[in-house]
Amino acid sequence: MNFVYSARSRAIEPFHVMALLQRANELQAAGHDVIHLEIGEPDFSTATPVKDAARAALDAGATAYTPALGLPQLREAIAGLYQQRHGLQLDPGRIVVTPGGSGALLLASALLVDPGKHWLLADPGYPCNRHFLRVVEGGAQLVPVGPETNYQLTADLVQRYWDADCVGALVASPANPTGTVLARDELASLSQAVQAQRGVLLVDEIYHGLTYGMDAPSVLEVDNNAFVLNSFSKYFGMTGWRLGWLVAPENAVPELEKLAQNLFISAPTLAQHAALACFTPAAQDIFEQRRHEFAARRDYLLPALRELGFRIEVEPQGAFYLYANISAFGGDSYEFCRYFLEEQHVALTPGIDFGRHRAAEHVRFAYTQPIPRLQQAVARIAAGLSAWKARHAV
């Protein structure tokens, strides 16, 4: 039977990288050694203290629904993280525990965006942000950004692109795919610019904790009315547990609770109990060791790729990505990624997954593999570049 699917569903673009991932898996099944630098998932498994906490909770029978806003003790622990990292006295009542960072974005979108309204988003940026807006019948005004603004929105860009249907701006710090971080004064300027338009500022802080040589400030240090999206997936290494949180102004929490009750009842119970162990000294030591390992990987891969001719115009300060310009090699990003997957068995993400602005000129490397594997990847790419450039007459 042929169904007529909704316009919103048809308007949401697929991840191009998923087709590449499927092909990578086929190659692996055929016996080829594929190096995965495409998916934004750390290669480390969940830390042992977290797994132990999950087992203990399961043995204790913690399998029922939790309150829609989350376990009270987990909300308190998250509030304590803001005291530890940022010196903020955050009321746990402002924290909503969600099924992943995606759940936080869903709640924020449903709360703040009416049909026909939109947020400003940086282009390039994480594609699901604009897709969530489409699901709630809103939209995204993509703002072209480049190295000159660290691939971030600025107060000037907010003023230039804001229009009558704009109700907010969403930024990410550290950002995906570029790894750039907004400084405290930049967050303050953005907040002032958005407030001047009577809008709302939202900041994706999902990669907080994964910064190198610096600490990423929280927008809550400069704007107590901003909305913050965060997750246990990246720094805490709990991708498959599907757990995140949203920090909102106090007066927004009753509306968010109502939405959470209707959209997903509550976040996964076992994941919430497991996440309590993330704040123990033993787990924190593990997370910090992993952060140092990511820093070492970045410090190897960044100069290695530049030596091959990739233009990485802004050094990433956080996350685990390098956003590389391939225009010196010719061709477009999807063709480039397909070639290196088929010929050299290195999987990358094409820039067209992250927006429209110069997207065909870029690819994203995720340094989510150990350094020996990164070294193999660089060697394979070096071996394949000559043939690629000959093919494109570069």
Q: Which has more pLDDT, 112 or 21?
A: 112
Q: Are strands 346-347 and 35-36 parallel, antiparallel or unpaired?
A: parallel
Element of type H or E holding 132: helix 127-135
Q: Are residues 40 and 183 in the same domain?
A: no
- Rounded distance, CA 206 to CA 229, Å? 6
Query: How many helices and strands, by DSSP H and E, does the chain display?
Result: 13, 12
From 125, 117, 118, 166, select the one nearest 149 (Cα to Cα): 125
pLDDT score for 206: 98
Strand, helix or coil for residue 221:
helix
Of 248, 280, 312, which closes a domain? 280
From 273, 382, 364, select the one nearest 322 (Cα to Cα): 364
Domain harbouring 201, CATH code: 3.40.640.10
Q: Are residues 19 and 138 in the same domain?
A: no
Give the model's confidence band at 40: pLDDT under 50 very low, under 70 low, under 90 confident, else very high: confident
* Residue pLDDT, tens place only, 364-381: 999 999 999 999 999 999
Q: Average the pLDDT over 378-386 and give the result.
A: 96
Structural domain boundaries enclosing 290: 7-45+283-384
Q: Are residues 200 and 215 in the same domain?
A: yes
Of 260, 280, 300, which closes a domain? 280
Q: Are residues 323 and 200 in the same domain?
A: no
Helices 100-112 and 127-135 sit at what angle, rounded to 10 degrees?
50
In a domain, 51, yes or no: no
Domain harbouring 16, CATH code: 3.90.1150.10
Q: Are residues 101 and 245 in the same domain?
A: yes
Q: Are residues 73 and 121 in the same domain?
A: yes
111 within 8 A of 255, measured Cβ to Cβ: yes
CA 329, chain centre distance (Å): 28
Q: Can the peptide bond before residue 124 be classed as cis, meaning omega within 30 degrees of 0? A: yes
Of 237, 254, 280, which closes a domain? 280
* Residue pLDDT, tens place only, 281-320: 999 999 999 999 999 999 999 999 999 999 999 999 999 9
From 206, 218, 176, 122, select the one nearest 320 (Cα to Cα): 176
Q: Are residues 229 and 329 in the same domain?
A: no
Q: Are residues 270 and 294 in the same domain?
A: no
- Rounded distance, CA 339 to CA 208, Å? 34
pLDDT score for 230: 98
pLDDT score for 174: 98
In a domain, 53, yes or no: no
Q: Average the pLDDT over 174-181 and give the result.
A: 98
Q: Are residues 268 and 305 in the same domain?
A: no
Q: What is the DSSP letter of 44?
A: S
In a domain, 392, yes or no: no
Write the DSSP assignment of 224-278 as a string of letters: TT-EEEEESSSTT--GGG--EEEE--GGGHHHHHHHHHHHTSSS-HHHHHHHGGG
How high does pLDDT run on average in the chain?
96
Strand, helix or coil for residue 24:
helix
Q: Are strands 200-204 and 166-172 parallel, antiparallel or unpaired?
A: parallel
Q: Are residues 249 and 293 in the same domain?
A: no
Give the model's confidence band at 12: pLDDT under 50 very low, under 70 low, under 90 confident, else very high: confident
Q: Are residues 169 and 235 in the same domain?
A: yes
Give the model's confidence band at 15: pLDDT under 50 very low, under 70 low, under 90 confident, else very high: confident
What domain count does the chain have? Answer: 2
In a domain, 214, yes or no: yes
Give the model's confidence band at 14: pLDDT under 50 very low, under 70 low, under 90 confident, else very high: confident
Q: Which residue has the tokens 């132990």?
A: 52
* Residue pLDDT, tens place only, 112-159: 999 999 999 999 999 999 999 999 999 999 999 999 999 999 999 999
243 within 8 A of 100, measured Cβ to Cβ: yes
User: What six digits make up the tokens of 314?
Assistant: 């802004």
Q: Are residues 245 and 371 in the same domain?
A: no
In a domain, 322, yes or no: yes
